[in-house]
A and B are shown apart, each in its own frame.
Chain A
Amino acid sequence: MDKTTTISVAKAITETPQPENEIARGAVELVHAVGMHARPAVKLTKLAKRFKARIAVRVAGAVDWIDAKSVAKVMAMRAAQGSVIEFEAQGADASAAVEALTTLVAADFPDTGR
Chain B
Amino acid sequence: MRADGAPLGQREAGADEAGALRAALAAADRQLSKLAAAAGKDAAEILEFQIALLADDALLGPIFAAIAQGAAADAAWAQAMAEQIADYRAAADEYLRARSADIADLRDRVLSALYGGEANPKTGRAGAVICADDLPPSRFLEIDWSAGGGLALSQGSATSHVAMLARARGVPMVVQLGEVPEPADAALLDADEGILEVDPPVARIQALATRQENQVLSRAADLAALENPSISFRGEPVRLMLNIQGPADLDHPDARYADGVGLMRTEFLFGRADLPDEEKQRSVYEQVLNWAGERPVVIRTVDAGGDKPVRGLTEAREANPFLGVRGLRLSLKRPDIFAVQLRALARAAALGKLRVMFPMVTTPEEFKTARRLFVQAVEELKSAGVRASLPEIGIMVEVPAAALTIESFPASFFSIGSNDLTQYVTACDRTNGALASLADPLNPGVLELIRRVAEHGRKLGVSVSLCGDIAGEPRYLETLLRCGLLEFSMSPPALAAVKRALAALSRKSDHV
A residues sitting closer than 8 Å to B (CB atoms) are 1, 3, 5-6, 33-35, 37-39, 41-42, 45-46, 67, 69-73, 75-76, 78, 81-82, 114
Contacts and interface: CB of A to CB of B under 8 A. Distances in A.
B57 interface: yes
Nearest to B96: A78
A100 B211 CA distance: 53
B224 interface: no
A70 B56 contact: yes
B99 A38 contact: yes
Nearest to B51: A42
A72 B84 CA distance: 8
Contacts, number: 70
A1 B294 contact: yes
Contacts of A78: 91, 93, 96
B286 A6 contact: yes
Contacts of B353: 1
B99 A75 contact: yes
B119 interface: no
Given A71-B56, A76-B87, A81-B283, A6 B96 contact: no
Contact of B58 (A38, A41, A73): A73
B290 A42 contact: no
B56 A33 contact: no
Given A6-B290, A6-B351, A67-B58, A46 B52 contact: yes
Contacts of B59: 70-73
B45 interface: yes
- 9 shortest interchain CB distances as A-B pairs: A70-B58, A38-B49, A71-B52, A72-B59, A42-B52, A42-B48, A67-B58, A39-B45, A70-B56
A100 to B, nearest CB: 17
Contacts of A76: 87
Nearest to B161: A38
B464 to A, nearest CB: 26
A45 B57 CA distance: 11
A75 B58 CA distance: 13
B476 interface: no
B58 A69 contact: yes
15 contacts: A1-B289, A1-B353, A33-B247, A35-B93, A38-B45, A38-B46, A39-B45, A39-B49, A42-B49, A69-B57, A70-B59, A72-B53, A72-B84, A78-B96, A82-B283
A82 B84 contact: no
Given A5-B351, A38-B48, 6 more contacts: A1-B289, A33-B247, A38-B46, A67-B58, A73-B59, A75-B96
B49 A70 contact: no
Interface centre among A35, A37, A72, A73 (most CB of B within 10 A): A72
B392 interface: no
Contacts of B287: 33
B58 A72 contact: yes
Contacts of B102: 38
A82 B53 CA distance: 26
Contacts of A71: 49, 52-53, 56, 59
Nearest to A6: B351
Contacts of B227: none
B48 A72 contact: no
A42 B46 CA distance: 10
B352 interface: yes
A69 B289 CA distance: 33
Nearest to B91: A78
A69 B48 CA distance: 15
A6 to B, nearest CB: 5
B194 interface: no
A5 B349 CA distance: 12
A70 to B, nearest CB: 3
B268 interface: no
B473 interface: no
B335 interface: no
Nearest to B80: A72
B58 A34 contact: no
A41 B287 CA distance: 20
B1 to A, nearest CB: 29
A33 B102 CA distance: 21
A69 B44 CA distance: 20
Contacts of A73: 56, 58-59
Nearest to A81: B283
Interface centre among B56, B287, B289 (most CB of A within 10 A): B56
Nearest to A37: B95
A15 B240 CA distance: 53
B407 interface: no
Contacts of A82: 279-280, 283
Contact of B56 (A34, A35, A72): A72
Interface in B91-106: 91, 93, 95-96, 99, 102
Contacts of B53: 71-72
Contacts of B183: none
B180 to A, nearest CB: 28
A57 to B, nearest CB: 12
A78 B88 CA distance: 10
Nearest to A66: B58
B445 interface: no
B49 to A, nearest CB: 4
